[in-house]
Amino acid sequence: MKKFTLIIAAIAALMLSSCNGGKSAPAPFDPATRGSNDIKLGAAGYSYLFYDIETTLKFLQDMGVHYLSVKDKWLPLDASYEDMVAFKELCAKYDVEGYTLGPIYMRSEEQVDQAFAYAQRYGAKWFIGVPNYELLDYTIAKVKETGIKVAIHTHGPDGMAFPDIRTIVEKVGDPNLGIGCCMDLGHTFRSGYDVAADIIEFKDWIMDVHIKDETAASKEGQTWECGRGQMDLVGIIKAFRQIGYQGVLSMEYEKNRRNPQPGVAESIGYLRGVLDATK
């Protein structure tokens, strides 16, 4: 009987080999090898500004998204250390990390001081901030004093400070001063720049990323679900792979703000597909 079993096994192996053109059977697929595990996907808090924090965390949990940039709507600038501990515990309950704070707008030296104290209580190594131009030197001094860095959010062609990463480079001069960029890719596209080329050219300045799709490469462009707009998201992801980006790509969805979750989920799914396909 044992001999017969061995013969049957040998025949089965030969048949399998024949079906595979003489090749061995492929190794079982390991989801851990997916390209979507190579780069962190997150959500920008602005996407869920009309929702309370626990509803937001449930949305992220449903999508398997583990990173959130925290808006002060959920964690006010005067929040105590104890408030922050409780906030982090709530995030951990949903397997989400509040990985950074902001954007925080700083219009006076007092507001700069408040922002750094807030980040210090939270234990943040950096935060997303937008100081007035005249406050840049004061902000750089606070970075040196506290060791907490600032990623300046870009705002595109709409007339706000720091329209694109070039402005940050021009006004700061040296990325080693602790002032970098939270690069809003949609605003970069709306400003008429080649987003992938900017990622490569200014890689030393990029600390954080808000990713999205846009309807047009102009001031009139509007946020769209990823994959439906005009941005070359495949080329953009390849650029991030080329520079070895180690930060988070946070989905910022400004369309349908009263009901963003369907669009955010569609966009996250699309980005995962691009990440898998470009590995």
- CA–CA distance, 140 with 173 (Å, rounded to integer): 11
In a domain, 23, yes or no: no
Q: Take residue 62 and report the two structure tokens written for it.
A: 């449903």
Task: Identify the pLDDT of residue 14.
Answer: 35
Task: Identify the pLDDT of residue 58.
Answer: 98
Residue-by-residue pLDDT tens, the chain, 279 positions: 433 333 333 333 333 344 444 455 556 656 667 767 889 999 999 999 999 999 999 999 999 999 999 999 999 999 999 999 999 999 999 999 999 999 999 999 999 999 999 999 999 999 999 999 999 999 999 999 999 999 999 999 998 999 999 999 999 999 999 999 999 999 999 999 999 999 999 999 999 999 999 999 999 999 999 999 999 999 999 999 999 999 999 999 999 999 999 999 999 999 999 999 998
Task: Identify the pLDDT of residue 1.
Answer: 40
What H or E segment, with its residue span, contains residue 69?
Answer: strand 67-70
Task: Identify the pLDDT of residue 36.
Answer: 73
The residue behind tokens 């706000």 is: 160
In a domain, 11, yes or no: no
- CA–CA distance, 130 with 103 (Å, rounded to integer): 7
Number of domains in the chain: 1
| Number of other CB atoms surrounding residue 170 within 10 Å | 8
Which tens digit of pLDDT belongs to each residue from 83-106? 999 999 999 999 999 999 999 999
CB 226 within 8 Å of CB 213: yes
Task: Identify the pLDDT of residue 251.
Answer: 98
In a domain, 28, yes or no: no
pTM of the model: 0.88
In a domain, 234, yes or no: yes
Q: Take residue 208 and report the two structure tokens written for it.
A: 């954080």
User: Which of 162, 99, 154 is CA-nearest to residue 126?
Assistant: 99
CATH of the domain at 166: 3.20.20.150
Positive or negative: CA dihedral 278, 65, 75, 255: positive
CB 175 within 8 Å of CB 212: no
Task: Identify the pLDDT of residue 53.
Answer: 98
Range of the domain at 168: 33-277
In a domain, 9, yes or no: no
List strand residue ranges (DSSP E) for 167-259, in order. Answer: 179-184, 206-211, 213-214, 223-224, 248-251
Q: What is the DSSP string of 20-48?
A: TTTPPPPPPP-GGG-GGGTSEEEEEGGGG
Burial class, 61, CB count within 10 angstroms (exposed 0-12 / middle 13-18 / buried 19+) = middle
In a domain, 258, yes or no: yes
In a domain, 137, yes or no: yes
In a domain, 22, yes or no: no
- CA–CA distance, 188 with 167 (Å, rounded to integer): 12
Sheet hosting strand 126-131, strand order edge to edge:
97-101, 67-70, 40-44, 248-251, 206-211, 179-184, 149-153, 126-131, 104-106
